[in-house]
Structure 1
Amino acid sequence: MRTSARWIQEWDPEDEAFWERTGKKTANRNLIFSVLSEHIGFSIWSLWSVMVLFMGKDYHVDPAGKFFLVAMPTLVGAFVRIPYTVAVARFGGRNWTIVSAALLLVPTLAAAYVMHPGTSYTTFMLVAALTGLGGGNFASSMTNINAFFPNRRKGWALGLNAGGGNIGVPVIQLVALAVITGAGATHPRLVLGVYIPLIVLATVCAALFMDNLAPMKADTGSLAAIVREKHTWLLSVLYIGTFGSFIGFSFAFGLVLQNQFGRTPLQAAQLTFVGPLLGSLIRPVGGWLADRLGGARITLWNFVAMAAAAGLVTYASSIRSLPVFLTGFIALFVFAGLGNGSTYKMIPGIFEAKAQDRIAAGESPEAAAAWSRKMSGAAVGVIGAVGAVGGLLINLAFRQSFLVAKTGTPAFASFLAGYAVCLTLTWAVYLRRPTTTRNARTPALARV
């Protein structure tokens, strides 16, 4: 099964005998260290959501500038997800995890160098852009883990992988809270000092314990095909609603608390980690529920709940009630995390359904399974990239809202409208109409 340099030549997780004999152990080991690398990647991606808490008046950056500063990593992170996805097939999952983990040293060391009063805003923007590399780790990690697990366990595996990565957001916020509490809001480099050795650890662990899958060949044709697939863009819209909300709110939460409710950096840091933590922990539950009840069904009701929570937050923002606001905002995080898991489960399920059509048309099961893995792997990267753009839109909406209205209320009202669009789309395409596949009616796609 293996050759040298940790390359696995044969891999068939759908074969239950193979899975129980050797596949499960190998897949789980790769999952563990993929989570570690992705976790650190998410922490570095969200670095500037905590760095802005250290930027007092002597930094001369206004609230609108800070919202734009935390938006920059989401933009870069979205763009690098496509090449990061392709890199897994081109260089191998283990090899690219080593490289992508080591690259996190670049934005971390750069931030340590520039994080002091007197640095120009342009320099801050450029260094913040570098942290977008951490956003790329998600796409490559999810593409890699998607290939290791059988379809029946992808919801759980992808949910656990993503949830473990997502939790990097509240963890770095807790680190920042500890630094602000213990040393004050003038020592941001202490946060960076914690992460530099962790980046090295993730790089070394990937080298020692992960594997490359030789059957995962670089295939730009799959990427070209996936962008012509309508479900890619439909699911991208849904993922903007779930993951875009999660990452956008995670980056902006502290700034909203400071600007809308007058919280100090310490008071904001005491609250910002709660929502991202709960949203990260519940993401595997979304995948688990989707495995059992159907991704589309879970996603639909999840958007109903997100719309209700957005309505509550809009009301709380208009009357400036912090307790009601926190209740609604944390609920948004929880449902965004749940929806992340259920939406991502739909991706391999849709292409597995299409693979069954190919088998019915005369294609061999092996070829159809290989096609499904390639297409779902490419879709994971594209949908993850487009979904990350939602984080940019969230922060730009906040920036404009505070710039014009001096409050976040108009932004929250726009989010409510967006969730209404997403739930309508989920129902209309995946729970009402027949699909484009030959032998699958709508209830079948509701199981993806």
Structure 2
Amino acid sequence: MRARWITRWEPEDPGFWEREGRRTARRNLWLSVFAEHIGFAVWSLWSVLVLFMTPEAGFSLTPDDKFLLVSSVSLVGALLRLPYGFAVTRFGGRTWTVASALALLVPVLLAAVLVRRPETPLWALLLCAGVAGLGGGNFASSMVNINQFFPEREKGWALGLNAGGGNLGVAMVQILGLVVLATAGVARPEILPLLFVPALLLSALLARRGMDNLATNRTDYGAYRIAARDRHCWTVSLLYIGTFGSFIGFGFAFGLVLQNEFGKTPVQAAALTFLGPLLGSLSRPLGGRLADRFGGARVTAWTFLALAVGAGCVLIASAVGSFAAYVAVFTVVFVLTGLGNGSTYKMIPAIYAARAESAVEAGDDPAEARAQGRRLSGAVIAISGAVGALGGVAINLAFRQSYQSTGGADAAIGAFLGFYVLCLVVTLVGYVRRPAAERADRAAGTRQPEPATAERRG
């Protein structure tokens, strides 16, 4: 394939941005959103396929087996995010978007074959589900690519829109699953994965015709090594476990939880599971916008407080046995995870942009300092995306263990509540307030500004 490369890209230059930058960046953004949307849908495919695997369809899978299947998808998707982040800078956003879309034909075709065979052993289903994790890697490559196209002042909106459009793939596959269940029943599960074959081909074609490769967006392993030694990389990753990990983990598990907690049929569960991921996806760009306006740390802190309250309300709804309240509160939790996803990701470029400005004020070369900020920002976006996705694995394994140990989901929900409180404390101490450690860093001449300063400038 003959790649189309852009050799000059200066989004922080107002003249360049107005003349040609904005138009090019937005074209790449919309095509990236579509490709990532399909990737997320394929990644989430097995969260719906397990609803088809009932005794009536000839399957003998236990709830433990089903939670293990969706956990394997989450795990592979999380592990692939970092290499996918490397790949897009190595091969270019246009080239990698085409290649990664075509690669997803493998898991959808495998799924179409295996879900028609109830005698398929669990290990084969686990392998097939794991291959669908390729779709999870698309998020990291897409976010790293789009991060380089936009200026700092618009990254909250652009990254939020890109991620939110991708996250909508979770709701989309669940809506399609509901349609298949309602029309063909559990006997025709292969219809669902086959629906994605033309969508993947269209995604690859559109990316090939309309996207660009940035010559300035190259693999920078040195930036990853520096980022891996930076505490902000790991604290932001922890926060992203709480926001995105919750979104994708609940998205994969919610249908199974409704079946196990309230005895709902596959159609009844599928009729409700899409709403939370849909609203959570739509709220992600709003989280980015709010972060642009009020600061990512403040929005993130309020989000974790609300998530903790939401988890407590889920426990109350479970205790009183109210199905309506249970679904309603969980839907609100999904919305909150979307807001937190947008605000947490906005924190990353804001922190490193402020660090660059501090270096400029201390006498460093402006162009070099800002380039270094962008280098670290891209690396941390890739690392935190990979680490955060592991939260989805943890949530599904927590549900599995909770059902094994107690026969219900309450123990897992209680653990999530405790984790949200931990994330709230980390955000308040590390980013909303002025931590002594950052003041010591500045006094020692490291030129690392306080995260609160980063948020004000972001």
TM-score range, shorter chain: over 0.9
- How big is each residue's C-alpha offset from its partner over 1:415-438, in whole Å with a ceiling of 9 and x where there is no partner? 100000000100000012243454
- How big is each residue's C-alpha offset from its partner over 1:276-321, in whole Å with a ceiling of 9 and x where there is no partner? 0000001000000000100000000011110010000012123321
Match of 1:94 in 2: 94
Equivalent-residue separation in structure 1 for 2:451 and 2:376 (angstroms): 21
- How big is each residue's C-alpha offset from its partner over 1:109-159, in whole Å with a ceiling of 9 and x where there is no partner? 111111121111100000000011100000000000000000000000000
| Closer, same or farther: CA 107–442 of 1 in aligned 2, 3 Å | closer
Match of 1:363 in 2: 364
Task: State the Cα distance separating 1:59 from its structure 2 match.
Answer: 1.1
Match of 1:444 in 2: 453
Match of 1:387 in 2: 388
SS at match of 1:59: coil
Match of 1:420 in 2: 421
1:342 aligns with 2:340: no
1:105 aligns with 2:105: yes
Match of 1:142 in 2: 143
Equivalent-residue separation in structure 2 for 1:111 and 1:318 (angstroms): 38
| Contact 1:59-1:117 within 8 A present in 2 as well | yes
- How big is each residue's C-alpha offset from its partner over 1:156-213, in whole Å with a ceiling of 9 and x where there is no partner? 0000000000000000000000001111111111111211110011011111000000
| Contact 2:350-2:455 within 8 A present in 1 as well | no
How high is the TM-score relative to the length of structure 1?
Answer: 0.97
Equivalent-residue separation in structure 2 for 1:128 and 1:358 (angstroms): 47
| Contact 2:71-2:392 within 8 A present in 1 as well | yes
Match of 2:69 in 1: 69
Equivalent-residue separation in structure 2 for 1:418 and 1:443 (angstroms): 23
Equivalent-residue separation in structure 2 for 1:439 and 1:126 (angstroms): 45
- How big is each residue's C-alpha offset from its partner over 1:198-238, in whole Å with a ceiling of 9 and x where there is no partner? 00110111110000000112211111111111000000010
Task: State the Cα distance separating 1:442 from its structure 2 match.
Answer: 5.3
Write the mapping of 1:227-376 to structure 2, written as runs, cut at 5 A: 227-376=228-377
Which deviates the most, 250-259 or 429-438?
429-438
| Contact 1:86-1:218 within 8 A present in 2 as well | yes
- What is the root-mean-square deviation in Å for CA atoms of aligned residues? 1.2
Runs of 4+ in 1 over 4 A off after TM superposition: none
Task: State the Cα distance separating 1:375 from its structure 2 match.
Answer: 1.1
Task: State the Cα distance separating 1:439 from its structure 2 match.
Answer: 7.3
Match of 1:14 in 2: 12
Which deviates the most, 185-194 or 78-87?
185-194
Equivalent-residue separation in structure 1 for 2:136 and 2:448 (angstroms): 38
| Contact 1:296-1:445 within 8 A present in 2 as well | no
Equivalent-residue separation in structure 2 for 1:262 and 1:6 (angstroms): 53
Q: Which runs of 5+ in 2 are unaligned?
A: none
Once the two structures are aligned, what percentage of the paired residues are identical?
53
Match of 2:39 in 1: 41
| Contact 1:431-1:445 within 8 A present in 2 as well | no
Equivalent-residue separation in structure 2 for 1:167 and 1:404 (angstroms): 33
| Contact 1:216-1:374 within 8 A present in 2 as well | no
Aligned residues: 445
| Contact 2:352-2:454 within 8 A present in 1 as well | no
Task: State the Cα distance separating 1:364 from its structure 2 match.
Answer: 2.1
Equivalent-residue separation in structure 1 for 2:429 and 2:169 (angstroms): 35
Match of 1:195 in 2: 196
Q: Which runs of 5+ in 1 are unaligned?
A: none
How high is the TM-score relative to the length of structure 2?
Answer: 0.95
Which deviates the most, 167-176 or 107-116?
107-116
